[in-house]
Amino acid sequence: MNSKAKLKQAIIIIMDDVRASHLFGLIDKGKLPNMGVLAEKGLSCKNCITSFPSVTFPSYPNIVTGSYSGYFKKLGSGIPAYHWVDRDIPPKEKRKYPFIRNYDNRSHIWKIGKDLGKNVATIFEQAGEGNFLSSVNVIFRGSEFQVPDEFQSRYIFKTVQTAFEKPKEFFSSNEAPKVSIIYIPRTDELMHEKGFDHPEYIKEIIECDQALGQLINSLKKKGYFEETVICIVSDHGNYKAQKMHDLEPFFDNIGLKQYLPKKGKGDFDANFGSVGFFNFRGETWFHHPTRSHMENFELTGMGKKTLNLYDMLWKIPGVKYLYYADDENRPEKGIIHLEARFKNKDKPLKGRIVYEGLGKNQKTKYIFDNEDLYYYINDNKAQNILDGNFHNIEEWMEYTSHVDFPMFIDQLSRYFKNPRRCDIMLSTCAEYAFGYEHGHTGTPHMYNHDVALKDSMTVPLIIGGSQEIPNINLKYCKTTDLVPSLLSLLGEEPHKSVVGRSLL
C-alpha cells in the first residue's frame, strides 16, 4: 500500500445488461439488501451513462479501461463495436484480406487483449504492484483469469471470495488481490431470452445480491472489509422492440453479396439489431469506400449494376438515422455527417458533428441545417449546448445526460475515428429488431440493447464498502469515471488514455 492510498483493495462487479431504473427499483422494494446498504452508505448514481453503441463491446471493455474507442494507433481502445472488419486508415494491403471480428465466436473472445491495442490500459495494468484477479472477466489483460467449475453467478462471486480467504490458491504470494473483477454474463442471457420483466431475470439479480452478501461477510470476518472498495455497475441498459423483421430477402433481392474474408470477395458485411453497422467494398476490401463509391456502388454479381447505397439503406423499415464519416477526416480533426427521416417531416433533416483532438482532449461541435435531429432543443437544459461551439465530454454530460441521446455527439465521433469503424451506420429508435448478422437473419430478440435512447444508455453505479467512501448521490456520471475513481482510492495515477474523471 503506497503512501497516497486510502484503501488496499478494489472489487468491481459488472452485471451485464442491467438498466439503472431496474436495479434501483429492486433496491427500493427491499429485494437487494446488500446492494442497498452499499448505495445508502456510499456513492451511488441512478444516471450513469454508458458508451455508444450501447452493446457489450465496446461498453464493457470501456468500463475496465476508463477509455473509449478512437484512433487507437495513437490513443484509445481498438474495439469500436461487437462486430467489425479489420481495416486500417490509411489502408494497408496485406497478404490476407481483412478479417471479420465477431465476439459471439468463442475463439475471438481470447483475442480481446490484442484487439484493445497498445495505447490503452486495463485497470489491472494501471493499478501498480500487486495480485489481480478476473473471475469470468474476459477483459483480463494484466490479471489472473479464472472460471469456476460450475458456471453460475454465485460461484463467480465465490471465486473472488476464495482469493481473499486463500490467496495462495491463485497467486505466488499470500496477498489478497488488489483489484478483482466479477463479471456476470447470465443477466444478459436472461434479458434477451426472457426479458427484463421476467421472474427468472429478476431472480438472477437477487441471487447476485445474496452472493454479494456472502462475500461481504467473508471480507468482514477476514478483516478486509474496511480496507476494500466494492463497486457495482453494468455495461448497458435495455429496451423492448415492437416488431421483428427479416432483412435477408431484402439484400438477396438487391443482389448484394456477403463479404468472404478468405477469398477477399463480396460486396458488404453487416450486423443489425436496432442499430446497423454496414461495411462495403472500397477500391479493395482493404480500403474504406468514399462517398462517391457508395453513391455509385458497383455490385459484383449483377452484371456491373450500380447502386446508390444511401438510397437503398433508407428503404429498410424503421430507419430514422443514417451516419457516415467525411472522406477527408483525420484522427485529430474531421466531420461526421448526420441524416434523419421522420414520418411527420416533409424533408430529411441534416446535420454534422465537427471534432478535434484525441482522448480526453477531444471536443465536438454539433451543427444542424434546419432542425435539431435529436430534439435537444425541446429540453430547457439541453438546448443551452446548441450554441455552435466546441464542447468536451463533461459539458455534453452536464447538458444531455438526462435526455435521449445522452453525450451522443461525443460518442459518435469516437466511434467513427476508429479505423475499424463501419462505412454507414443506421439506427432505428428501437421499434424494430432485425437480428441480421453477416449475411443471415438469426434469432432476433425483442428484448435488446444498442440504441442511444436513455433506457439503453443508463446503468446503475454504486461505490461502497469502507467508511472511506463518502456518502454521495450523484446526478450523473459516466461508466469511464469508475477506473480513475478506484485508482484514486488505491493511490495510483490513471493511464494517459483514460477519459473518465474521479468522482471522489
CATH of the domain at 210: 3.40.720.10
Q: Are residues 477 and 434 in the same domain?
A: no
First CA to last CA across the chain, in angstroms?
A: 19
DSSP assignment string, 93-113? --SSPPPEEETTSHHHHTTHH
pLDDT at 304 over 90: no
pLDDT given at position 343 = 87
pLDDT given at position 302 = 66
Q: Are residues 414 and 457 in the same domain?
A: no
Q: Are residues 282 and 411 in the same domain?
A: yes
363-368 β-sheet, strand order: 363-368, 349-356, 333-340, 321-325, 424-427, 275-280, 268-272, 436-437, 440-441
Q: Are residues 156 and 230 in the same domain?
A: yes
User: Is residue 97 situated within a structural domain?
Assistant: no
pLDDT given at position 94 = 83
How many angstroms separate the CA atoms of 361 and 113, rounded? 25
> Comparing 88-102, 283-297, 423-437, which segment has the lowest mean pLDDT?
88-102
Percentage, residues of the chain above pLDDT 90: 94
Place 346 in a pLDDT band, splitting at 50, 70 and 90: confident
User: Is residue 209 situated within a structural domain?
Assistant: yes
User: Is residue 140 situated within a structural domain?
Assistant: yes
User: Is residue 171 situated within a structural domain?
Assistant: yes
pLDDT given at position 90 = 82
Q: Are residues 248 and 236 in the same domain?
A: no
The 10s digit of each residue's pLDDT in 348-397 is 999 999 999 999 999 999 999 999 999 999 999 999 999 999 999 999 99
SS3 191: helix
The 10s digit of each residue's pLDDT in 46-99 is 999 999 999 999 999 999 999 999 999 999 999 999 999 999 988 888 889 999
Average pLDDT, the chain: 97
Q: Are residues 233 and 165 in the same domain?
A: yes
Residues 6 or more apart in contact with residue 280 via CB below 8 angstroms: 267, 268, 289, 293, 294, 297, 309, 423, 424
Q: What is the b/e burial string over 178-211, where b = at least 16 CB atoms within 10 angstroms of the residue's CB?
A: bbbbbbbbbbbebbbeebbeeeebbebbbbbbeb
Strands 349-356 and 363-368, by their bridges, are antiparallel
> Which range marks the domain in which residue 293 is found?
243-448
Q: Are residues 256 and 202 in the same domain?
A: no
Q: Are residues 415 and 459 in the same domain?
A: no
CB atoms within 10 A of CB 385: 17
User: Is residue 373 situated within a structural domain?
Assistant: yes
User: Is residue 92 situated within a structural domain?
Assistant: no
What is the chain's Cα-based Rg? Answer: 23
pLDDT given at position 271 = 97
User: Is residue 2 situated within a structural domain?
Assistant: no
Residues 407, 49: contact at Cβ < 8 Å?
yes
Q: Are residues 270 and 373 in the same domain?
A: yes
> Which residues are paired to 179 by β-bridges?
10, 132
How many angstroms separate the CA atoms of 215 and 202, rounded? 20
User: Is residue 348 situated within a structural domain?
Assistant: yes
The residue among 111 and 93 whose pLDDT is bigger is 111
Domains: count for the chain = 2
Give 372-379 contacts, CB < 8 A, sequence gap 24+.
373/321, 373/338, 373/340, 373/349, 374/404, 374/405, 374/408, 375/403, 375/404, 376/400, 376/403, 376/405, 379/403
Q: Are residues 341 and 277 in the same domain?
A: yes
